[in-house]
């Protein structure tokens, strides 16, 4: 079922409230710019207790739809730019081009949502991603703590540390790692996710 169909179910007052909540979760399955659980957490933080309150449920849906619409517009702009580039002979995008087809941030509340995601990971899962012999992971945790302590600001030294951590995680995340150690691959993938959220949360406005 499409996002629009699920959204109509969320708005349908004839349905039981819990079915409408389930429909909202299905919408989030289809558009989860900061991850499924973190997106639901952000909606709750901004819209209110949507699981029990109809007005909050409708606010949460409106938030999600607004962000998704902005994402769809970004995709259209990117597609038009790529068509123009191909006409000029540039067949492949540059490595630094941002491809919006896989959303990596919340459109319309980029830093705020990323900071919420950082807090969500810090509270829920970051500790279990740490191992004694993984210095970059511990450095990442230090950067996360500094970000949360300063509401999204990192001094230059920790910004460089974050870049270094991210580069090391990216270098590990190879198909061979999944073949040889799937658990380690998934742990590293989660560390990359935290690092990406942290980069957005601490980026300039």
Instruction: Provide the whole-model pTM.
Output: 0.86
Q: Specify whether 49 is located in the same domain as 64.
A: yes
Those residues whose C-beta lies under 8 Å from the C-beta of residue 177, and which sit 6 or more positions away, are: 184, 185, 188
- CB of 111 within 8 A of CB of 200? yes
User: Would the pLDDT of 84 be above 70?
Assistant: no
Q: Is 184 helix (H, G, I), strand (E, B) or coil?
A: helix
Same domain, 103 and 122: no
The whole-number average pLDDT for the span 132-159 is 93
Task: Give the residue from 62, 79, 108 where a domain finishes.
Answer: 108
Q: Are residues 80 and 1 in the same domain?
A: yes
- Tell me: do 77 and 123 sit in the same domain: no
154-163 CB contacts, 8 Å cutoff, 24+ apart: 154/202, 159/202, 162/195, 162/198, 162/199, 162/202
For residues 2 and 92, membership in a common domain is answered with yes
Secondary structure class of 111 (helix, strand, coil): helix
Q: What is the pLDDT of residue 81?
A: 59
Q: Give residue 113's pLDDT.
A: 97
Same domain, 6 and 104: yes
**Over pLDDT 70: what percentage of the chain?**
86
Kindly state whether residues 157 and 180 are assigned to the same domain: yes
Report whether pLDDT(85) > 80: no
Q: Which of 80, 108, 136 is the last residue of a domain?
A: 108
- 79 has a pLDDT exceeding 70: no
With contact defined as beta carbons under 8 Å apart, do 54 and 94 qualify?
no
- The answer on 121 and 62 residing in a single domain is no
The tens digit of pLDDT for each residue in 155-198 reads: 888 999 999 999 999 999 988 999 999 999 999 999 999 999 99
How does pLDDT run across 3-59, given as a tens digit for each residue?
A: 999 999 999 999 999 999 999 999 999 999 999 999 999 999 999 999 999 999 999
Range of the domain at 183: 110-201
pLDDT number for residue 99: 61
- Based on C-alpha coordinates, what's the Rg of the chain? 19
Tell me what pLDDT residue 196 has. 94
Note whether 114 and 149 are same-domain residues: yes
If one counts the domains in the chain, the total is 2
H-type alpha helices, the chain? 3-11, 17-30, 36-47, 54-87, 110-124, 135-149, 156-172, 175-180, 182-201
pLDDT score of 91 more than 70: no
Regarding whether 131 and 74 lie in a shared domain, the answer is no
Domain termination residue (choose one: 77, 108, 139): 108
Q: Which residues of 43-55 are buried (b: 16+ CB within 10 A; e: fewer)?
A: beebbeebeeeee
Sign of CA dihedral 196, 197, 203, 205: positive
Residues 129 and 146 in one domain: yes
**pLDDT band per the 50, 70, 90 thresholds, residue 204:** confident
């Amino acid at each position: 079922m499409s996002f629009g169909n699920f959204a109509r179910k969320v708005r349908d007052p004839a349905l039981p409230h819990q079915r409408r909540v389930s429909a909202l979760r299905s919408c989030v399955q289809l558009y989860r710019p900061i991850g499924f659980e973190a997106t639901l957490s952000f909606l709750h933080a901004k819209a209110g207790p949507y699981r029990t309150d109809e007005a909050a449920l409708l606010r949460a849906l409106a938030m999600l739809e607004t962000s998704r619409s902005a994402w769809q517009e970004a995709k259209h702009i990117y597609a038009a730019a790529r068509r123009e580039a191909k006409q000029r002979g540039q067949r492949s995008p540059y490595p630094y081009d941002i491809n919006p087809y896989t959303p990596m941030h919340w459109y319309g509340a980029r830093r705020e949502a990323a900071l919420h995601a950082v807090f969500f990971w810090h509270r829920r899962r970051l500790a279990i991603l740490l191992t004694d012999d993984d210095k970059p992971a511990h450095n990442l945790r230090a950067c996360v703590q500094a970000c949360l302590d300063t509401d999204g600001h990192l001094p230059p030294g920790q910004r460089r540390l974050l870049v270094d951590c991210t580069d090391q995680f990216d270098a590990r995340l190879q198909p061979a790692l999944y073949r040889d150690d799937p658990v380690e691959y998934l742990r590293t993938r989660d560390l990359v996710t935290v690092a990406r959220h942290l980069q957005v949360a601490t980026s300039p406005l």
